[in-house]
Structure 1
Amino acid sequence: MMRGSSFLRPARIISSLLLPILMLAIQTDAVAAAASPAPYRIVGYASGWNPLQTKDAGKIDTLIFAFAQLKNGSVVLDDNGAKRLQDLIALKSKNPRLKVTISVGGWTVGGFSEAASTPAGREQFADSAAQLIAAQHADGLDVDWEYPGHHESGIKSSPEDKTNFTLLLKAVRASLDRAGAANGRTGANHYMLSVAIADGPFVSGVDIAAINPYLDWFNLMTYDFVNSATPTTGHHTGLHASALITGDGRTTDRAVQQFLAAGVPPQKLVIGAALYGREFADVKPEHNGLYQTYGTYVGGHNWPDLKHDVINKRGYIRYWDDAAQAPWLWNPKTHHFITYDDPQSIAAKAAYVKAQHLGGIMYWEQTLDSGDELLNDMWRGLQ
């Protein structure tokens, strides 16, 4: 039919009338995220930012910059860290609701026990942190001390850490409030305070009930349940207990129940998801390598690499644990085992957050999923 035929005109008229309606209906996820925030937080740790990911900035409630340093008792940022932090803060132009906070610490980072051990040390830590937050125009602080009362990461610890951690957070809360009052950051816009915190035996040096009043929320590090220091493979970020797990093996649900039992309101608990997997070699083949002893810990894989190069490829077979609500990979020829989060397990975690009325989902770490696939799954699951 010729382009000028009158038979096309009614269709064109109808199309022109419907076009505005269709344009309204076909909104992007990012626009929808900015327009109608869910009642749950999505919190992402970020060591930096890939410009290609800016399209999804509207799906994130809080980005936590990792990391500031603890030097001579003060919380500081070097020039490179300050630049990477400002890259995150610039995302507020895309998502005005976005909060950007600064995390201090991380695995193997010491100095916390020493800084928290005296009133003067706690004041120096707290005041330097508040000054840094204000100077960088950030929205708060995240304290990642791994872990009070423990020295597995090679840092110094003390039996007094349990009491001193509470006093440290009390001092930080007071310093942030003073800085907030001086900078018009009060009420709903106050400087926020959170902690990155483990579970099970790794919080034996934390008085959970005592620190709760000073915190806006808890970032539960519900990942790395199995790693190079554990005797067996397993689900490193499993939601529930596998039928094969032994004793009080760690799971996300067990972590949540531990904190609820300590009196933390559910809406202050943000569970962790992993954008990476962990691989083990020389694994015993029973149960397709799940919760078996192994010879060597191989290392980590980010989600895009797992998806494109490993899952159901090169001899790796994907399995799903209904009890744990978690996937794993087993290579029967090489006896390699990989544990990870994927869209199915993320959906299960999102459903769990809703069912338990929790605060949301946190993930480590933004640069590990350049396509934001798992972030998208978190966002969709929490709508």
Structure 2
Amino acid sequence: MILKKYSLLIIAMLMLMHTFSDAQSTKKKYVVIGYVGSRGWTGKDIKAGQMTHIIYGFAHLIEGGVLAPASVKDSVNLFTLDSVRTANPGLKILISVGGWGGCRYFSDASLTDSSRARFINSALAFITKFKLDGIDIDWEYPGQIGANNIFRPVDKENFTLLMRDFREALNKQAATDNHGKYLLTAATGVDTAYMTHTDITGMQKYVDFINLMTYDIYNGNDHVTGHQSPLYQSAVGKQERVSTAEAIENYIAQGVPADKIVMGLPFYCRGWTEVNNVDNGLFQPSAGHHISFSYDSLANGYINKNGYKYYWDKNAKVPYLWNSELHTFITYNNERAIEYKVQYMKKHQLGGMMFWEYSLDIKSQVLLNKVDELVAH
């Protein structure tokens, strides 16, 4: 009788362990995508185990639709990033093309079947040379004027065609060299103008992830202060810009599966001087100039230091700083803001988190550590 009881107990424990094992194996895995720029880091600085993907920015799309490293340093950096895989063999490394100031020839390169083929063939050669796992298209912005870029009304349709042709070519390349699937991602905007000039519904069919730039919602072009990356709307102000949550909802409404959406985080701040001294500078006009710098600098010299007082917007779920003597307002994200954003990401079963940019929090890596802590558990 005692033996039978022990047998039943053992069977029950084994069943419990099996159930726990199944739960662990079916637990959703989120991506952590880190954009890495060209300066401010060495291979020893990269915590490869805390990211699933690294996207290096940027390669240049030059006249004629050819992809090339911006400098010799970029080539060295790409080979260095390949070497950090030893710490995380599953790490995927992609090249980003474009970015603000790097999109001049996107409209030309996507214009015709032959121009798209030329761009894509050049990109495939680039990917092979640097042992990459895919490409990220950061076209800022189709159909709109930007930093000296060429643009046309047909950019909207041609962007989708470009992504379609990239997907087909990457699949063929994977079958040829037995690499496994090559990734295609897009870094995209969140404002009404971007949504109007981009075929989100059509384009998203071809990408693995949409890296949603849910930052710079208020930015250096504004003469009124505001949160650059709020999770929700603030209780003050006119709510003239989307929040992170609203941007994500807009993409889902356009047919983008939630698990393709990767929420963006800023590892830097934005600020304004000569701000009206009302409501601690929040949503106030600025007669001065715009400032922006790394989270490292912010933590070292600004947060509750040198006259800058910390405030928390309980509705928007983000912090900000106000210096009443200097009339300077600063918007940023911190560990607390990341906690709320990760909660939102998990609740809505998004694809994961991404951030711009690695070197901006490289000394303490406080923000990356918080992302790693929360996303992995």
In the superposition, the TM-score normalised over structure 2's length comes to 0.88
In the alignment, the residues of structure 2 paired with residue 133 and residue 167 of structure 1 have an alpha-carbon distance, to the nearest angstrom, of 20
Matches within 5 A, 1:153-164: 153-164=147-158
Equivalent residues in 2 for 1:250-265 (5 A)?
250-265=242-257
Cross-structure match for 2:21: none
Give the 5 Å matches for 1:293-304: 293-304=285-296
Task: Write the mapping of 1:367-378 to structure 2, written as runs, cut at 5 A.
Answer: 367-370=359-362, 371-378=364-371
* Aligned counterpart, 2:207: 215
Correspondences of 1:6-85 after superposition (within 5 Å):
39-48=29-38, 49-54=41-46, 56-71=47-62, 72-77=64-69, 78-85=71-78
1:335-346 aligned at under 5 Å gives the runs 335-346=327-338
Q: CA deviation at 1:367?
A: 0.8
Matches within 5 A, 1:203-352: 203-352=195-344
| Paired position in structure 2 for 1:194 | 185
CA distance in 2, matches of 1:230, 1:355: 32
Q: Cα distance, 1:203 vs. partner?
A: 2.6
Report the aligned-residue RMSD: 1.6
Q: What percentage of aligned pairs have identical amino acids?
A: 35
Flag as ranges the 4+ runs of structure 1 deviating above 6 A. 35-38
Count of matched residue positions in the alignment of Structure 1 and Structure 2 = 345
Contact conserved, 2:93 with 2:134, CA < 8 A, in 1?
Answer: yes
Matched, 1:91 2:114: no
1:149 corresponds to which residue?
Answer: 143
CA distance in 2, matches of 1:51, 1:126: 29
TM-score by length of 1: 0.87
**Does the 8 A contact of 1:125 with 1:172 survive in 2?**
no
Q: Given that residues 148 and 203 in structure 1 are in contact (C-alpha distance below 8 angstroms), is that contact kept between their aligned partners in structure 2?
A: no
8 Å contact from structure 2 (residues 200, 254) kept in 1: yes
Whichever residue aligns with residue 121 of structure 1, its letter is S
User: Which ranges in structure 2 are unaligned for 5 or more consecutive residues?
Assistant: 1-24
Counterpart code for 1:222: T
- Of 95, 99, 103, the residue aligned with 1:102 is 95
C-alpha displacement of 1:51? 3.8
Q: Secondary structure at the match of 1:204?
A: helix
Name the counterpart of 1:18: none
The residue aligned with 1:3 is none
1:68: how far off?
0.5
**Which has the higher mean CA deviation after the structures are superposed, 327-336 or 40-49?**
40-49
CA–CA separation in structure 2 for the residues paired with 1:103 and 1:145: 10
Question: In the alignment, is the contact (CA less than 8 A) between 1:270 and 1:360 conserved in 2?
Answer: yes
Letter of the 2:304 counterpart: N
1:338 match: secondary structure: strand
Distance 2:290 2:191 in 1: 25
**1:130 counterpart (124, 131, 134):** 124
Match of 1:357 in 2: 349
**What is the CA distance between 1:52 and its match in structure 2?**
4.2
Structure-2 separation of matches of 1:47 and 1:249: 28
CA distance in structure 2 between the partners assigned to 1:123 and 1:206 by the alignment? 21
Q: CA deviation at 1:164?
A: 0.5
